Copies of this chain bind each other. A is one copy, B any other.
Amino acid sequence: MPPLEVWLGVGSTYSYLTVMRAPALAAKAGVTLDWRPFSVRAIMQEMDNIPFATKPVKAAYMWRDIERRAAGFDLPVRVPAPYPLHDFDRANRIAVAARSEGWCEDYLRESYRLWFQEGVPAGSDDSLTRVLPACGQDIGRVLSVAGSAETQEAYDAATDAARGRGIFGAPSFVTSDGELFWGDDRLEEAIAWHKTAG
């Protein structure tokens, strides 16, 4: 069975729940995960899809909904977390580099944990100086790789691949037979579908 694709951008709020929940759920189902960081912001801007930044009523609901769902999953959470992220693209270029080197899941978990539990924005210097050592990575080396043309190309290619799958938001899950599920609240459905298709 190929892995279930998990498409997200560091910067997506509901992805906090997915990053914290998916590894255990997938392991229990015997499913492996392929974390696919991409620029969800680029795609949403192309579509004029602005869910929260200009919509305070919807944003207020989103924070309460995340708080409520986190409580249901016994996950600590401090809302509202800093939003939107200032260093969105840097956070995602590092995720792209981490994926190619095999430590993407650790990076996402540590970044989101700091962001949603301690209020440290993902991708910020304060975050990276804690997250990268926790992942066993040298900060200078990672920043250099993340800033390279190769990483930018891989990041752009990932965003193109997301477009090709009809992705318009994050987190999104794509099963082995190409079914798309959008939103952390579809994670269980996506895993079940992927197993059946697999």
Q: Which residues of A contact B (CB under 8 A)?
A: 47-50, 54-55, 57-58, 60-61, 64-65, 68, 166, 168-169, 179-182, 185-186
Main secondary structure of the interface of A (DSSP, over half): mixed
A166 touches B47 (CB 8 A): no
List residues of chain B with CB within 8 A of the CB of A180: 61, 64
What is the count of identical protomers in the complex?
2
Known pairs A48-B54, A49-B55, A185-B185. 20 more at Cβ < 8 A? A47-B55, A47-B57, A47-B58, A48-B50, A48-B55, A49-B58, A55-B168, A57-B168, A58-B168, A58-B169, A60-B166, A61-B166, A61-B168, A61-B180, A61-B182, A64-B180, A65-B181, A65-B182, A68-B179, A185-B186
A152 CB to nearest B CB, Å: 24
